Amino acid sequence: MALTPKSPQGNLPANSKDAASQETFLREVDDALREDQLRTLLTTRGWPIIALVVGSLVGLGGWLWYNDHSANVRDKQSETFVTALDALQAGRNQTAKQGMDPLAKDGSPGYRAAVQITEAGIAEQAGKAADAAKMFAAVAADGALPGPYRDLATVREVSTNFDKLAPQTVIDRLKPLAIPGKPWFGSAGELVALAYLKQNKTEAAGALLASIAKDKAVPDTLRRRTRQLAGQLGVDAVDNPAAAVSGSEGQ
């Protein structure tokens, strides 16, 4: 019986050993080629690749640091502002102002606007209407501040100077804000309606007041007030007229 030749290095058949050796050789050649390609790549384009990798890591680290830093800053500003408001509610106006002053100078745009509007309100409560109006006007004119804060400052400025302004001036300034869906629709709309009344435009005033009274996005106190004013003008400002009719029939 013929015997299969044995490899001097083991018990595998010679042809199997040769195949294994060939596979190992090919793998080593492939690894050498890959290493050579990598060396060539690093030689020709090494620095740009390294710079890209390092730049990406630095950018990622910077982004993570900025997000963490921004969150810490926002938390501190929020805490400062809430503490100042607590002092304000307790009647410690000077303490509140001292607490808010740093935010007015170095706070984020939103906090700077909120602080300036609050300080203007403090001035108004202290009987300094002219100073308060100027402060509100400054916020309204500052393009670096968020739009909703600027719009609120405009409403507050007009409200502070309402008796000194011509009715048409009030209407022209606040009518763009007296639109359902706008953040300050209720407050702006009420002032516009009062300006209409000064012009004896009772129909326009009543319709606007009724619209405010029926808008569930408007604060309840303002809805009740405008509903009463609309009723005095003979305008139905009930939220659900059908319910009101069925209720009256039941009585």
Give per-residue pLDDT as tens, 170-215: 999 999 999 999 999 999 999 999 999 999 999 999 999 999 999 9
Residues 87 and 127 in one domain: yes
Count of alpha carbons within 13 angstroms of residue 196, beta-carbon side: 21
How many separate domains does the chain show? 2
Asked if the structure places residue 10 within a domain, the reply is no
Question: SS3 for 6?
Answer: strand
Residues 146, 144: Cα–Cα separation, whole Å: 7
Considering 157, 183, 215, which residue would you say is the last residue of a domain?
Answer: 157
Asked if the structure places residue 67 within a domain, the reply is yes
Summary mean pLDDT of the chain: 76
Considering 93, 126, 157, which residue would you say is the last residue of a domain?
Answer: 157
Domain that residue 175 falls in: 165-238
Whether 52 has a pLDDT exceeding 90, the answer reads no
- pLDDT for res 200: 96
pLDDT tens for 62-108 read 545 445 444 555 667 667 667 766 766 677 777 777 777 777 677 77
pLDDT tens for 123-162 read 888 899 999 999 999 999 999 999 999 999 999 999 999 9
Residues 70 and 151 in one domain: yes
* Most confident among 4-13, 79-88, 110-119, 133-142 (mean pLDDT): 133-142
Residues 153 and 173 in one domain: no
Q: What is the dihedral of CA 82, 87, 88, 93, to 10 degrees?
A: -130
Residues 15, 10: Cα–Cα separation, whole Å: 12
Whether 22 has a pLDDT exceeding 50, the answer reads yes
Residues 116 and 146 in one domain: yes
Residues 181 and 149 in one domain: no
- pLDDT for res 244: 42
Considering 157, 178, 203, which residue would you say is the last residue of a domain?
Answer: 157
* Between 12 and 80, the higher pLDDT residue: 80
Asked if the structure places residue 16 within a domain, the reply is no
Residues 79 and 95 in one domain: yes
Across residues 239-247, what is the average pLDDT?
47
Residues 204 and 141 in one domain: no
**Residue 13, φ and ψ in degrees, nearest 5:** -60, 155
Residues 234, 203: Cα–Cα separation, whole Å: 9
* Between 142 and 1, the higher pLDDT residue: 142
Residues 78 and 149 in one domain: yes
Asked if the structure places residue 43 within a domain, the reply is no
Asked if the structure places residue 105 within a domain, the reply is yes
Asked if the structure places residue 36 within a domain, the reply is no
